[in-house]
């Protein structure tokens, strides 16, 4: 075996046998932003056999502060993140097979990939995709690792189908912040803290050391020096959960549960309609966006925000109009960057 992994092999919980298992495993990483780029680099250096990377976005200058795989040239050329990542990762370790997919991690492609992977890792920026991942992982009995970060706040949780509460169960008990990096920013150490937890859990799963897996939901705030580890006991798991309960329906894989996107003919506008009516607090969102430096206008029925050449108009029921583009992928990226 190559000397490349000698220090990892010297770590007794992995050893030679664990390293050999890692080299045979296939990991699916959804999102190649801050979390995904860090995760993919650590797993490439650790010698995982195959990585499948999915991301719809391209590299921008604002990414370089925390997304460690990318360069100024990638941003200048607006290189798709998975293409830039594959090039860099192949230079780091040519023995790792990199399957790079430029596009949306939609249900169709996830249904095709999930039966052939050993682990799914979350590097996304919105909860719609995370709930789809949660359903996919349970449908195909694949472990997955949730991760989230914004500002100096991060959280992570390892989900093993049939053994732990799923994300759907968890979020009935633990509230999540509705902030995004575009509204409150982010510092790079937050990213590294989350991904360190995620990759440590990944190595346990890939080396088949499941007994060492953490059974807690971890959340922290690096700036405020706060840390909380919540034990995810069976009390949190809901036996009536449609994702992990006794009678599973996997609701987030159903068409009616997905956010709908429609290009409005002749208006250079994309309409986004969430699956459920949420009755948002427009005042709260307007205040948050103003603090982030955006141009915001509001009346009792809607709030409008200007973001460069794009204007987003958000209604109280969660429906949004993205003016200035007829590209659903671009509209989706803007929507999630502002809404979380």
Known catalytic residues are 181
- 115 vs 118: CA distance, rounded Å: 8
Residue 133 neighbours by CB distance under 10 Å: 25
Q: ∠ CA(30), CA(68), CA(3), 5° rounding?
A: 90
Residues in the chain: 340
What does DSSP say about strands 260-264 and 226-231: parallel, antiparallel, or unpaired? Answer: unpaired
Residue 16 neighbours by CB distance under 10 Å: 11
Alpha helices by DSSP H, 158-187: 167-170, 181-184
Beta strand residue intervals within the chain, DSSP E:
26-30, 50-55, 97-102, 119-122, 144-150, 153-159, 216-221, 226-231, 260-264, 269-273, 295-298, 302-307, 310-315, 320-323
- 198 vs 36: CA distance, rounded Å: 10
């Amino acid at each position: 075996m190559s000397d490349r992994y000698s220090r990892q092999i010297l770590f007794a919980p992995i050893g030679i046998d664990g390293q050999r298992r890692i080299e045979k495993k296939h990991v699916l990483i959804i999102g190649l932003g801050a979390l995904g780029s860090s995760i993919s680099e650590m797993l490439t250096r650790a010698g995982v056999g195959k990585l499948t990377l999915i991301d719809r976005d391209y590299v921008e200058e604002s990414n370089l502060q925390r997304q460690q795989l990318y360069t100024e040239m990638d941003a200048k050329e607006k290189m798709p993140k998975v293409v830039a990542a594959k090039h860099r990762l192949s230079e780091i370790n040519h023995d790792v097979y990199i399957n790079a997919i430029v596009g949306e991690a939609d249900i169709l492609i996830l249904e095709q990939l999930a039966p052939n992977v050993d682990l799914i890792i979350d590097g996304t920026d919105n909860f719609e995709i995370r709930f789809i991942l949660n359903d996919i992982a349970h449908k195909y009995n694949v472990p997955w690792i949730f991760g989230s970060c914004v500002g100096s706040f991060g959280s992570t949780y390892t989900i093993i189908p049939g053994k732990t509460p799923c994300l759907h169960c968890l979020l009935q008990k633990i509230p999540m912040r509705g902030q995004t990096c575009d509204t409150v920013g982010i510092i790079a150490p937050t990213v590294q803290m989350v991904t360190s937890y995620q990759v440590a859990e990944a190595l346990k799963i890939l080396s088949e050391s499941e007994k060492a897996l953490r059974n807690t939901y971890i959340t922290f705030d690096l700036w405020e020096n706060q840390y909380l580890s919540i034990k995810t006991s069976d009390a949190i798991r809901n036996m009536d959960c449609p994702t992990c309960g006794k009678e599973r329906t996997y609701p987030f894989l159903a068409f009616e549960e997905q956010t709908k996107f429609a290009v409005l003919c002749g208006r250079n506008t994309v309409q986004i309609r969430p699956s459920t009516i949420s009755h948002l607090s427009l005042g709260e969102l307007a205040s948050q966006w103003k603090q982030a430096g955006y141009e915001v206008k509001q009346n009792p029925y809607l709030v409008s925000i200007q973001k460069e050449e794009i204007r987003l108009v958000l209604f109280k029921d969660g429906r949004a109009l993205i003016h200035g583009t007829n590209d659903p992928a671009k509209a989706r990226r803007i929507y999630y960057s502002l809404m979380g």
